[in-house]
Amino acid sequence: MGRTFGVLALAFAALHGQQRTAYQSIDFRNFTYPFPAQKFIPVPDKLAWMSLNVKTALTLVNGRYDFDRANPSAGPSLILDRVLYDYLTSAKQLDSVAVLGYHTGGTASWDYVYAFSLESNSPKLVGWFRAGSRTDSGLYQLEVTNRAPIVDLFDSERRVADCCSEGFVRTTYDFKNGYFVQRGAQEFGNVEVASPKRPNPS
């Protein structure tokens, strides 16, 4: 699932003290993220890279944004799931990837993934995508390693029901000329029910 801030801080404390200060100063739980403006968002069935020119945004408060503040449990809500830190845009700096879950209040849910460059000690969005919902290309696993985001989506061709799939599709990306581009062919693997953290493509 990639390396978390705590692991990275221990591993790179001696060499990256200045970068650690930058990471510690970024509060992704109370952060402003670009987000589509439309009030009704259709349930997605595939991954889609989003425009970097989106002008509308939402600000999380304590890790979440409730669209119906009078009745938050009714949904929809946008909730910070996790933040990964690793080399992404450059071998000289550690960057961050934030994963936000969109919960409709019903059975459908999906994720938005935001990649930030931390070159200037301030997050700069360099790419973001919306995954599908659940078995329709929903986000299964995400890892950032060796400057490459590795995205595993549930395989809709191997669905068992609306909630479940027996397989995943893996896509690896490279950051080139300011954009994320697919590296090589996609890979396919089996979903591990008991221990899904590090799936192995077949």
Residues 44-97 have pLDDT tens digits of 999 999 999 999 999 999 999 999 989 988 889 999 999 999 999 988 888 999
| Residue 130 confidence (pLDDT) | 98
| Residue 172 confidence (pLDDT) | 98
Distance CA 138, CA 132 (A): 4
Domain assignment of residue 91, yes or no: yes
Q: Quote the domain boundaries for residue 25.
A: 5-35+44-65+73-190
Domain assignment of residue 87, yes or no: yes
> Which of 48, 64, 58 lies closest to 180, judged by CA?
48
- 7, amino acid identity: V
What mean pLDDT, rounded, does the chain reach?
86
Domain assignment of residue 199, yes or no: no
Compute the C-alpha angle 61/138/40, nearest 5°: 55
Domain assignment of residue 195, yes or no: no
Distance CA 72, CA 39 (A): 16
Distance CA 169, CA 104 (A): 24
Read off the DSSP letter of residue 44.
P
Domain assignment of residue 198, yes or no: no
CA separation (Å) from 142 to 5, 19, 166?
A: 15, 23, 17
